[in-house]
Structure 1
Amino acid sequence: MLPGFAYHPDPIATGSVKVSESTCVYCGEARGYTYVGPVFCAESLGNRPCPWCIADGSFAARYEAEFTDLYDVPSTVSMETIEIISRRTPGFSSWQDGRWLFHCGDGAAFLGPVGARELAAFPDATEMLRHEASEGWPPNHVEDFITALDKDGDPTAYLFRCRKCGTHLAYADYT
């Protein structure tokens, strides 16, 4: 069983962790899973870290690594939360730089990429995307963009859930 990640509850479902027999670059063990998402560190790594070395922070400490490049973090978010999300939580691959979302003074839990079909179950996240797009596009383009979102394609959206109030959040990304 994988270690628990409060801010990324199912890294296998999101594609950030894969079943693998490769050995971890840090602990040297083959634990059956490897992290395949982004790693930001100065060293070039031959292998990838295992989820256990991410969860306990040992990989990030050894390589001065981060798995998510955080920016636009609200001032209400604690340094401990920032540390957990950036250095002890699997990140996720995106078309451009991944963006972690925050709500209620905490990091939101990453649920994975979604398209228009999946978003239908999350009107709060859809409204957030609609609002974000309306700041630069005319209304008819906003709706076309929302309906064009594709979980496995381009453009896509990334779904999060507030850990405190349960509100669903999303942002869109494309090449």
Structure 2
Amino acid sequence: MSADLPFFRYHPDPLTSGSIRAAAETCPCCKRDRGWIYTATFYSAQDVSGRFCPWCIADGSAAERFAGEFTDSCGLDGVSKDVLHEVTRRTPGFHAWQDPRWLVHCQDAAAFVGEVGYAGLAAHPDALDQLRTDMRLDGWHDESRLERFLTSMAEDSTAMLFRCTVCGTHLAYADAS
């Protein structure tokens, strides 16, 4: 990540994920063109004209001024109020086919690593095993069907990969069109 961009503990590489990109646009919060702009979701009842710069995300001014959030709090159960606010109001969200959700491990929000296909999951067996277990709990009882789905990821589905900020365990959830 560029040294002059703010650091986001729970989304350490928003350039690679595509959530922040170089752009000559004026931020509706600070009214400045800082050369970088946020490209993913922002949930607000207010009409926001334009996209935010990373600095207005990092300091919370965009979420405060426009009474909104970058990520839904769904799934962030068990984290402190401070962590909840950091993830939802001061961390860039990410692009997903379904509504994005943030994963939790060791009672802390996990760091979003990125969108991966089967090869990316296979590189992190802990995430692949956890995803298999979660999918079985969600009703995927046919093992051959489950494996076909997983190995075909990157075609009609992907996985959102996270890393625990406490113990380093990788986690994932499936995202399909």
After TM superposition, is the score higher than 0.5? yes
Letter aligned with residue 149 of structure 1: M
Number of aligned positions between the proteins: 172
What residue is the counterpart of 2:67 in the other structure? 64
The CA deviation string for residues 87-129 of structure 1, in whole angstroms up to 9 with x for no partner, is 0000011111101000001000001100001112100001111
Q: Distance in 2 between matches of 1:70 and 1:26?
A: 22
Q: Distance in 1 between matches of 2:76 and 2:31?
A: 34
Give the deviation of 1:46 after TM superposition: 1.7
What residue is the counterpart of 1:80 in the other structure? 82
Give the deviation of 1:57 after TM superposition: 0.4
Per the alignment, in what secondary structure is the counterpart of residue 160 of structure 1?
Answer: strand
Q: Distance in 2 between matches of 1:43 and 1:61?
A: 12
Q: Distance in 2 between matches of 1:25 and 1:73?
A: 28
* Equivalences for residues 152-171 of structure 1 within 5 A: 153-171=155-173
Alignment partner of 2:8 out of 1, 5, 9: 5
Alignment partner of 2:145 out of 137, 141, 153: 141
Structure 1 residue 24 corresponds to structure 2 residue 56:
no
Structure 1 residue 14 corresponds to structure 2 residue 7:
no
Query: Where in structure 2 are there 5+ consecutive unaligned residues?
Result: none
Letter aligned with residue 99 of structure 1: R
Structure 1 residue 54 corresponds to structure 2 residue 54:
no
Q: Distance in 2 between matches of 1:163 and 1:102?
A: 9
RMSD (Å), alpha carbons: 0.9
Give the deviation of 1:134 after TM superposition: 1.8
Q: Distance in 2 between matches of 1:104 and 1:52?
A: 28
Which stretch shifts more, 116-125 or 5-14?
Answer: 116-125
What residue is the counterpart of 2:95 in the other structure? 93
Q: Distance in 2 between matches of 1:157 and 1:5?
A: 21
Conserved 8 A contact 2:75-2:104: no
The CA deviation string for residues 59-85 of structure 1, in whole angstroms up to 9 with x for no partner, is 11100110000113333x100000000
Per the alignment, in what secondary structure is the counterpart of residue 170 of structure 1?
Answer: strand
Which stretch shifts more, 66-75 or 110-119?
Answer: 66-75
Moved over 3 A (4+): none
Query: Where in structure 1 are there 5+ consecutive unaligned residues?
Result: none
